[in-house]
Amino acid sequence: MQATFCQAIPPKLPYPSKLSPVYRLPTRAKMISMPERQVSVPDADNSVAAFWDYQFLFVSQRSESVEPVVLRTVDGAIPADFPSGTYYLVGPGIFCDDHGSTVHPLDGHGYLRAFVVDGNSGEVRFSARYVKTEAQREECEGKTGSGRWRFTHRGPFSVLRGGKKILNTKVMKNVANTSVLRWGGRLLCMWEGGNPYELETETLDTVGRFDFDVTDDSNLSSKRGFSGGFWDFAACLLKPILYGVFKMPPKRLLAHYKMDFQRNRLLIMSCNAEDMLLPLSHFTFYEFDLDFKLLQKQEFNIPDHLMIHDWAFTDNYYVAVGNRIKLDVIGSLQALCGMSPMISALSVNPNKPTSPIYLLPRFPEKLFEDRDWRVPIDAPSQMWLLHVGNAFEQRDKKGNLEVQIQASACSYRWFNFQKLFGYNWQSNRLDPSYMNASEEEELLPHLVQVAINFDADGKCHECSVKPLNNWSRPSDFPAINPTRSGNRNTYIYTAAASGSRHLLPHFPFDMLAKLNLSNNSVSTWSVGSRRFIGEPIFVPKGNEEDDGYVLVVEYAVSIQRCYLVVLNPKIIGEAGALVARLEVPKHLNFPIGFHGFWSADC
């Protein structure tokens, strides 16, 4: 069965009413731009073409490539010094079932793609498989031979047309669709609300749910924070409902992990299930060695209603930027009655003009200062943090400490749980207007640099937030050379919007930007007309920070094709930055992925 797309009706009138009509270069950042290819397409910017291009970015792919397929090289070639290894990319694979329901992209079942690169021969083999989670096996009727799908789990962000609505407690379905990790010989696909699923590294066969061994003793575990009093009592009342009725795990494991290459450690983070509904937050951090042996576990209790999607670490701290949320009582009742998605029980909480940043000690016994970690740093900006590129700390000879965070963030005024990716559960379609509606670029996802300065006694005397390199274009998925994680870096790569298309000026992204933090410059590579890109991944090759290659998937929606693109990061912005482009067969064309991972051959 070939790729299929959700049936939707294109708008009769151009959308939205307010759009940024032109692309304006940043006035302060030095910018170099060199598109590798521009394709002239008549009427590419009319509302119908823009609408359908957006839909094809989220095309459902029901086929799996069990046997690897050798990709055809259409531009350039894999260079002889390219490291051998595998680029894994995970994301939702299916959005529409055979019974009239369309789910939000975040609720689509995990579809793992693997690009195996042979550095000696220059050959790239592609395969793709669904992650056979418990929910996937239940909702895919392929086991009966029909090959049909029926969504029975709502998911947190969706409403089903063909399923049970009222008191449908099948909400937290683990779709394993957000991030992928290869660590200690295991391949894991992770989701935001449950344990990961393990797959075979070569065949991509699903092994089963992977449970981290978090058993510990008093030497490994510590618990710090407050006693919640009334709210602890409320949590005790909620737990039987959340765990028993809604089948939520006690610890909500986050999809974003970190790797400390200096110590050869895997870092993961979890929150308590009840934190979603109560004004308290329980953050638990775990550190594992290459054998998945637990090295340490620390729990921090914070009296604030926060949501964390991504986070960071430095040599001595876990860094959590708190997105403030609140319980929406009316939305909760509507969600329980099936009138709206379950996520409508929550909304952003813009009651403060600042953003709380918690610097939580990784190794308390090693800290120089005696600062109370329970007191957050108030960043002078109301920003909703999306993804972290990197964070690091540096101390001068006088003992003064600076902590820097590089991330993508947006405004509370723009962020809306129910409208992410333009999902419209009422019309059962994806509407591009939400992602492209604002004329104020600072409201949209963009890169920021947060700098926090402490004196030798641990007193914070300055915290600043500014656009990274004065780069103001809508951007997300910041990436660095992974060996620099937690340490000072010079370069950061991001997917960005050129703004060249009038009706899709901000999203999907059509440009890769390299930010040089040492000279405040930005250089870009553009993918071309009616073509988009996803998250960039850096493949290290040598000792220099930008010595390697950048991988990114190109989605040529106008011809329904996907390409693996290899770029030379040293000359992005110059002719020849494109090293190779390899074509995925059309019958295996896949929807946009979320997060990927490069695994070098040992």
**Domain coordinates of the chain in residue numbers?**
30-435+442-600
Three-class SS state of 243:
helix
Q: What percent of the chain has pLDDT over 70?
A: 84
- At residue 3, the pLDDT reads 55
Separation CA 523–CA 550 (nearest Å): 14
Q: What is the pTM of this model?
A: 0.91
- At residue 45, the pLDDT reads 65
- At residue 26, the pLDDT reads 37
Q: Is the pLDDT of residue 59 over 80?
A: yes
* Residues in the chain, overall count: 602
Q: Is the pLDDT of residue 21 over 60?
A: no
> Amino acid identity of 306?
L
Who's near 280: CB < 8 A, 6+ residues apart?
Answer: 226, 228, 231, 232, 235, 301, 302, 303, 304, 305
Three-class SS state of 139:
helix
- At residue 173, the pLDDT reads 87
Q: How far is CA 245 from CA 169, 242, 249, 275, in A?
A: 7, 6, 11, 17
Q: Where are the beta strands (DSSP E) in 366-474?
A: 377-379, 383-395, 401-411, 423-424, 429-430, 446-454, 460-467
578-581 CB contacts, 8 Å cutoff, 24+ apart: 578/36, 578/37, 578/75, 578/76, 578/525, 579/76, 579/77, 579/78, 579/79, 579/549, 580/73, 580/75, 580/76, 580/77, 580/78, 580/79, 581/73, 581/74, 581/75, 581/76, 581/554
Separation CA 235–CA 233 (nearest Å): 5
Ligand-binding site membership of 587 (annotated): no
Mean pLDDT calculated for residue range 450-462: 93
Helices (H) and strands (E) in the chain, counts: 4, 39
Ligand-binding site membership of 256 (annotated): no
Q: Write out the H or E segment, with its range, that includes residue 55.
A: helix 47-57
Mean pLDDT of the chain, nearest integer: 87
- At residue 8, the pLDDT reads 47
> Amino acid identity of 239?
K
- At residue 16, the pLDDT reads 42
Ligand-binding site membership of 387 (annotated): yes
Separation CA 37–CA 528 (nearest Å): 6
Distance of CA 231 to the CA centre of its chain: 31
Report the C-alpha dihedral over residues 418, 423, 429, 435, rounded to 10 degrees: 130
| pLDDT band (50, 70, 90) for residue 178 | very high
Q: Where are the beta strands (DSSP E) in 215-293?
A: 221-224, 251-253, 258-260, 265-272, 281-288
Separation CA 287–CA 50 (nearest Å): 45
- At residue 34, the pLDDT reads 37
Q: Is the pLDDT of residue 24 over 90?
A: no
Mean pLDDT calculated for residue range 94-109: 93
| Cβ atoms 316, 298 nearer than 8 A | no
**What is the tens place of the pLDDT at every residue in 240-272?**
666 666 667 778 899 999 999 999 999 999 998
Mean pLDDT calculated for residue range 589-599: 97
Residue written as token pair 């993961």: 268
| Cβ atoms 345, 327 nearer than 8 A | yes
Eight-class DSSP state of 196: -
Which segment of 93-107, 214-228, 272-286 scores lowest on mean pLDDT? 214-228
Which has the closest alpha carbon to 59: 597, 599, 455, 586? 586
Q: Is the pLDDT of residue 171 over 80?
A: no
**What is the tens place of the pLDDT at every residue in 468-525?**
999 989 999 999 999 999 999 999 999 999 999 989 999 999 999 999 999 999 999 9
Mean pLDDT calculated for residue range 11-15: 43
